[in-house]
Amino acid sequence: MTVMLTSADAPISLTASHALAAGSSGPIQLWYTTRATGVVALVLLTATVALGVAGTARLETRAMPRAVRSGLHRNVSLLAVAFVATHVLTSIIDPYAGIGFASAVIPFTSPYRPLWVSLGAIAFDLMLAIVISSLIRRRLPYRAWRAVHWLAYACWPVALWHGLGAGTDSRLSWLLLLDAVCVLVVAAAVCWRLQLAPSADVRTFGILGTAGFVLATIAFVAIGPLQAGRH
């Protein structure tokens, strides 16, 4: 017997989704894969952003020379692409959430948690732009490549909020902790980089903006995923 779920339903517990899977057409592995790859992707994207920010600050240590740091940034980002691609693919193949190819790249077309999945689509679009432009970097004018690459500062927060909003497991304490660590890493990296900026205005507004984002995320988590019966 299939059960029709609406997005107004409470978050699914592990056993409930088992029961569901037994009845619906998709194997549970797809669903688990989507969730797991989502989490790993977030961690990898966090590392990518941190390494990228370290690059703008020209960080160099004995253990990690400049070229190693730069190469790591590139390779971690490609690994993140692999996990995001898997995450998107399994979410499309899995009929449970009803997310089609279109919803993966076009916002506001998903039947399942439309707002939060849309954030995923947006983050995915931004990521594609950043990665593709970087792969063809030598063929692009430098300023164009740089402008697109700056979208990373939009891509990461959107991906984070997608995870918090669309993610099934957001309430789990270990995942909340992981999310908090990711936010801390990026916020700390950005603030550390900002204090190197020569312009006082840039420093002030940048750090205030970062703090604002952190607070907004905390507020969202409090009134969103942590509430029972959320949208």
Partner 1 sequence: MSMKLEINPIACTGHGLCADLLPELVEMDEWGYPIIGDQVPSHLAVHARRAVNACPTLALRLTRTHRQQEKS
Residues that bind partner 1 (CB under 8 A): 55, 58, 60, 65-68, 70-71, 137-138, 142
Our CB check for partner 1 shows the closer of 146 and 231 to be 146
Is residue 65 classed exposed, middle or buried when 0-12, 13-18 and 19+ CB atoms within 10 A define those classes?
Answer: exposed
Our CB check for partner 1 shows the closer of 65 and 111 to be 65
CB of 79 to partner 1, least distance (A): 19
CB of 141 to partner 1, least distance (A): 9
Our CB check for partner 1 shows the closer of 115 and 140 to be 140
Our CB check for partner 1 shows the closer of 53 and 160 to be 53
CB of 96 to partner 1, least distance (A): 42
Choose among 38, 27, 3, 8: nearest CA to 169: 38
Read out DSSP for 85-121?
HHHHHHHHH-TTTT--HHHHHSTT--SSSHHHHHHHH
- Type of residue at 119: L
Non-local CB neighbours of 82 within 8 Å, separated by 6+ positions? none
CB of 81 to partner 1, least distance (A): 18
